[in-house]
Structure 1
Amino acid sequence: MTRRTRGGAADSKRWALLFTCMSTRAVHIELIESMSTDSFINALRRFFSVRGPAKLLRSDRGTNFVGASKELRINTDDTLIRKYLQEKGCSWVFNPPHASHMGGSWERLIGVARRILDAMLLQTGSVRLTHEVLSTFMAEVMAIINARPLVSVSTDPDMPAVLTPSMLLTQKMSAVSAPPGNFDTAQLFGKQWKQVQCLADTFWKRWKGEYLSTLQSRRKWTQDKPNVKEGDVVLLKDSQAHRNEWPMGLVVKTFPSSDKRVRKVEVRIVKDGTAKVFLRPVTEIVVLLAES
């Protein structure tokens, strides 16, 4: 991160603290300036002020998390943090050692987001990000992650809706849309708000590819899998979809091959009140709710 000084500009380091809710699966990211108790308490206070107080905090005891907790002094032996949590009626629970699988619900989100951010920031190493740009970009990352589909909730086959963490947090059906315009890599050296949008679009494209692959695993075909059927609610892998848009559809027709396998289907989607039917291969859809 770059900060302006009287003599020009100076580089300084920032850390990101990621919270994920076990109930709504929402994500909240806070930037901290140092790995100290004071910075952590300030970040925790900001989190509680925005999202409300939490009664239980959980974290892993993997070697990397234990090392980070020692650096941050996030443990029950730290009297300052223990006193602060007790005053807020909050408790901290660590998973057993060597049991990273017990934190799978947050490990997956942290892992995917961190891999994308690491790759992006390495590619943009020559671009200096100010604290304002970095904090705005983290807010865009939160919006993208919280707009991901959790489960299909609509009972109307003509207008399938999707439940997202953002919907549970804001009580609003629509997600935050991207501003109009094409934000390519040339915008990284332009105005700061366009710089943020370019980074957000890059994260969105990578996140969509990483997250969709986790919704539909493709292991070796040692066992027969059921075909896609008419009436299945599916998610379309649309490369032209704008940021935070997850096109949902209903399978209205299937086309079995000579071996009785369905490899292409017709999907009906409703956008802006208009119904459209698209022919898509099964590799371009993800079944969210089977008809049966």
Structure 2
Amino acid sequence: MRNEDFKQSMARECADSGIRWHFNPPKGSHFGGLWEAAINSAQKHFIRVLGDTKLAFDDMETLLTQIECCLNSRPLTKLHEDPSDLQALTPGHFLVGAALKSVPDTDYESIPFNRLHQWQQTQKIFQDIWKRWHVEYLASLQPRTKWYKPPVNLQPDTLVIILDENLSPMRWPMARIRDVHPGNDGVIRVVTLQTANGIITRPAAKVCILPIESAECAPTNTTNATQQ
């Protein structure tokens, strides 16, 4: 990358594509915003789960790569406008052109750590981090509005993630809202979902709107009750 020919070709490519670079100042990691928040969340769980466990260099490299895959597998928004399509756009699409996948592995949650081999210990740490991080991430996608704001309005055909605490790493069950069932007060508490395996019914608290979609569904009436 330090080769002058490479630098000139890169500059020409960026100029032809209209790409402009904006760099954060040194020591200004807080300028990162969303991605720094994601790194901080994963780092917090990584330190708590790893504790005093000592890993070899190869095991640590493998573990960090798997954590990176988890972060880059999270759904961001719908990939197509087709209501029957359940695919979501992820950071992995920008890296490899497709959603990141993982090979199914044995669940080591109930097995004592000292009974596992070296590779199995690394995978148990990875699975523990996933169980903590993905639940926290999904909870962040479920906005809790105050009493003076209307709740988030779930709409049919919205692509959502089904909340399931027992999923294996990098599994994001996607569904489309087929129908909503409001209560007597007009608040939607139950939804009918179209999944890849059929139609199911779930509480509204068990579905998570994608982060980019949530901005479109956010409540707009912010009038304080004291002004009414």
TM range, smaller chain? 0.7 to 0.9
User: In the aligned structure 2, how far is the partner of 1:261 from the partner of 1:167?
Assistant: 35
CA shift at 1:142, angstroms? 0.9
CA shift at 1:226, angstroms? 4.4
Pairing 1:263–2:200 present: no
Pairing 1:188–2:113 present: yes
Q: Structure 2 matches for 1:1-292, cutoff 5 A?
A: 93-94=24-25, 100=30, 102-122=31-51, 125=52, 127-173=53-99, 175-184=100-109, 186=111, 188-189=113-114, 190-270=116-196, 275-288=197-210, 289=213
Aligned-residue Cα RMSD (Å) equals 2.9
Q: Deviations over 1:203-245 (max 9, x none)?
A: 1111101212222331423211343222222111122322111
Contact kept, 8 Å, 1:187 with 1:195, in 2: the verdict is no
SS in 2 for 1:223: coil
Contact kept, 8 Å, 2:80 with 2:87, in 1: the verdict is yes
Contact kept, 8 Å, 1:235 with 1:286, in 2: the verdict is yes
CA shift at 1:282, angstroms? 0.8
CA shift at 1:252, angstroms? 1.1
What residue number does 2:18 align with? none
Higher strand share: 1
CA shift at 1:96, angstroms? 8.7
Structure 1 residues 103 and 93: CA distance shift in structure 2, 3 A: closer
SS in 1 for 2:37: helix
SS in 1 for 2:33: helix
Q: Deviations over 1:57-90 (max 9, x none)?
A: xxxxxxxxxxxxxxxxxxxxxxxxxxxxxxxxx9
Structure 1 residues 230 and 92: CA distance shift in structure 2, 3 A: closer
Contact kept, 8 Å, 2:79 with 2:89, in 1: the verdict is yes
Q: Deviations over 1:100-138 (max 9, x none)?
A: 3x331332122201211121122xx2x432222111111
Indicate the structure whose relative CO is greater, using CA pairs within 8 Å and at least 6 residues apart: 2
Give the ranges of 4+ consecutive aligned residues of structure 1 lying more than 4 Å apart after TM superposition.
Answer: 90-93
Structure 1 residues 128 and 262: CA distance shift in structure 2, 3 A: same
User: In the aligned structure 2, how far is the partner of 1:177 from the partner of 1:187?
Assistant: 24
Q: With structure 2 as the length reference, what TM-score do the two structures score?
A: 0.75
CA shift at 1:197, angstroms? 1.2
Structure 1 residues 156 and 169: CA distance shift in structure 2, 3 A: same
Q: Deviations over 1:151-188 (max 9, x none)?
A: 11122212221111112211234x22243322226363
Q: Which runs of 5+ in 1 are unaligned?
A: 1-43, 46-53, 56-89
User: In the aligned structure 2, how far is the partner of 1:111 from the partner of 1:242?
Assistant: 22
Q: Which runs of 5+ in 2 are unaligned?
A: 3-9, 12-20, 218-228
Contact kept, 8 Å, 2:86 with 2:159, in 1: the verdict is yes
CA shift at 1:253, angstroms? 1.7
Q: With structure 1 as the length reference, what TM-score do the two structures score?
A: 0.60
Structure 1 residues 281 and 114: CA distance shift in structure 2, 3 A: same
User: In the aligned structure 2, how far is the partner of 1:226 from the partner of 1:220?
Assistant: 11
Letter in 2 for 1:156: D
